[in-house]
Structure formats: structure tokens, C-alpha cells
């Protein structure tokens, strides 16, 4: 394997495609985000990097709450639209039907199979982006997308983002915390 250097860039192999929900001036707004992941197990936390210019950032700062909504592959058009237009230019409150959970101020997109309700734990100013770390207060799941009490990605059919392209999950390669048991020293 011959390596070349590509310079510093915020690269990850694949990313999730999510919708960050926040109330801005009392109205729901949804923003597409791919720079998001799990942050902590106990307490349960997730995080998302939001550019300081985003309308969504205003809502998170205003309420100290937000949601991460996981759309299915069949919602790719609505999802991408939320990443093309800003709530500062166009009202995005009607793209999804919104409902509220425990926090009352984090809008949850009814049509998305999974909604993660978050209370802002901390924001880290990284430069262009604020890393919002949210404590998960509840997960709302479509019953059709749950197996044995857990979200099931084979049913959710989430959108994977990489290289300016949306993909689906693809096929299983092996089982985690298990495949490594087949390792033998060379
Ligand atoms: C696939 C995709 C992923 C994106 N990921 C992020 C992200 O992680 N963080 C971010 O700040 N903007 C991201 N954006 C850009 C915002 O979604 C876009 O600027 C949006 O219009 C902001 O909406 P708002 O101003 O209503 O908050 C992404 C856009 C797309 C299409």
C-alpha cells in the first residue's frame, strides 16, 4: 500500500444523514446534518456540529434543546431540501408534521421513524462550527422500526452520506464484537 498525503480536511468515511430540529422564535425548523455521532453512553449523549451561520443554531441557543430525527431513504428529497434552504430564507416548519415530547421545545418530525429528544449539555466552539452535545432525554420510535426494544436499521432504512452522495446501508459484512474472535496471529 503506497500512501499520499491529502492535507487537513474534516473527513470521515461515512456519516449519518439526520435532521436537526429546533424551535426558532417559537416555530419548528429542520436542518440536514451529517456531522453527528454518539458522544457518551452514561448519561446517553449525542452530538452534532452546526455552523454558526445556521438558523438552527439560533433555536438551540434560544431553547437549550434540539432533536435529531432519522429519516428513511424514501424521505431523501425532503431531507436534502432542508439542507439546501435556510429557515432564515424560507419557512421549513410545514415540511414535516411536528410533535413535542418531554422537553416541550424540541420539535420532533412525525414522519421520521426515529426522533431523539435532546437537552443541550454543552456547546464547544470549534471555529466555524459549534459542537452541540445533547443529553438524550427520550427516543421516540415508529413501532414498525423496532426489534426487541431497539431501533432496527434494517427497518428504518436510514440514509448514509459520503462524497456528496446519499447511499443506503448496504449488506451485512459480519457481526461486531464477534468477527474478531476469528483472528489468528500471523
Ligand atoms: C447532506 C448534508 C449534510 C449537511 N450537514 C451539515 C452539518 O453537519 N452541519 C451544518 O452546520 N450544516 C450541514 N449542512 C448544511 C445545512 O443543512 C444547510 O446550510 C441548511 O440550509 C441550514 O438550515 P438552517 O439555516 O435552517 O439551519 C448539510 C447539508 C446537507 C445537504
Q: Please give the pLDDT value at position 52.
A: 98
CA 124 – CA 107 distance, rounded (Å): 23
Q: Which grid coordinates belong to 87?
A: 429557515
Short-list 88, 94, 103, 106, CA closest to 22: 106
**This prediction's pTM:** 0.98
Q: Does the Cβ of 56 fall within 6 Å of ligand 1?
A: yes
**Would you say the CB of residue 31 lies under 6 angstroms from ligand 1?**
yes
Query: Which residue's alpha carbon is at the smallest distance from atom 31 of ligand 1?
Result: 83
Dist CA 138 CA 126 (whole Å): 27
Distance 13 CA to ligand 1 centre (A): 18
Position 104 scores a pLDDT of: 96
| pLDDT at residue 126 in the model | 98
Q: From CA 169, how far away is CA 132, in angstroms rounded?
A: 26
Question: What are the cell numbers at 47?
Answer: 452530538
Each residue of 56-72: pLDDT tens digit?
A: 999 999 999 999 999 99
Report whether residue 19 contacts ligand 1, using a CB cutoff of 6 Å.
no
For residue 46, list its beta bridge partners: 38, 134
Rounded Cα gap, residues 159 and 82, in angstroms:
14
- Pocket flag, ligand 1, residue 50 (CB < 6 Å): yes
Whether 55 lines ligand 1, by a CB cut-off of 6 Å, is: yes
**Rounded distance from Cα 32 to ligand 1 centre (Å):** 5
* Mean predicted confidence (pLDDT) in 28-42: 98
Closest CA to 67 of 143, 161, 145, 140: 140
Quote the pLDDT of residue 65: 98
Contact 37, 73 (CB under 8 A): no
Average pLDDT, the chain: 98
Query: CA-to-CA distance for 101 and 154, rounded, in angstroms?
Result: 25
The dihedral built from the CA positions of residue 88, 45, 108 and 111, taken in this order, carries a sign that is positive
Per-residue pLDDT band for 170 (boundaries 50, 70, 90) equals: very high
pLDDT digit string (tens) for 105-159?
999 999 999 999 999 999 999 999 999 999 999 999 999 999 999 999 999 999 9
Ligand 1 geometric centre to CA of 146 (Å): 28
Question: Of the candidates 78, 49, 62, which has an alpha carbon nearest to the alpha carbon of residue 22?
Answer: 62
Band of pLDDT at residue 79, cut at 50, 70 and 90: very high
- d(C-alpha 107, C-alpha 98), whole Å: 6
**Is the peptide bond prior to 23 cis by the omega test (within 30 degrees of 0)?**
no
Cα dihedral sign, 45-51-56-57? positive
Amino acid at each position: 500500500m503506497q500512501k499520499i498525503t491529502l492535507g487537513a480536511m474534516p473527513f470521515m468515511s461515512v456519516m449519518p444523514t439526520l435532521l436537526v430540529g429546533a424551535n426558532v422564535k417559537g416555530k419548528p425548523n429542520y436542518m440536514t446534518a451529517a456531522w453527528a455521532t454518539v458522544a457518551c453512553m452514561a448519561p446517553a449523549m449525542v452530538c452534532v456540529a452546526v455552523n454558526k451561520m445556521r438558523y438552527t443554531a439560533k433555536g438551540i441557543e434560544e431553547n437549550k434543546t434540539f432533536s435529531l430525527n432519522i429519516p428513511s431513504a424514501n424521505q431523501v428529497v425532503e431531507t436534502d431540501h432542508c439542507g439546501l434552504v435556510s429557515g432564515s430564507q424560507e419557512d421549513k416548519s410545514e415540511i414535516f408534521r411536528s410533535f413535542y415530547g418531554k422537553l416541550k421545545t424540541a420539535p420532533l418530525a412525525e414522519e421520521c421513524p426515529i426522533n431523539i429528544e435532546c437537552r443541550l449539555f454543552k456547546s464547544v466552539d470549534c471555529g466555524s462550527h459549534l459542537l452541540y452535545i445533547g443529553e438524550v432525554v427520550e427516543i421516540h420510535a415508529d413501532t414498525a422500526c423496532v426489534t426487541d426494544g431497539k431501533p432496527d436499521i434494517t427497518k428504518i432504512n436510514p440514509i448514509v452520506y459520503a462524497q456528496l452522495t446519499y447511499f443506503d446501508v448496504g449488506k451485512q459484512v459480519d457481526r461486531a464484537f464477534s468477527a474478531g474472535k476469528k483472528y489468528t496471529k500471523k
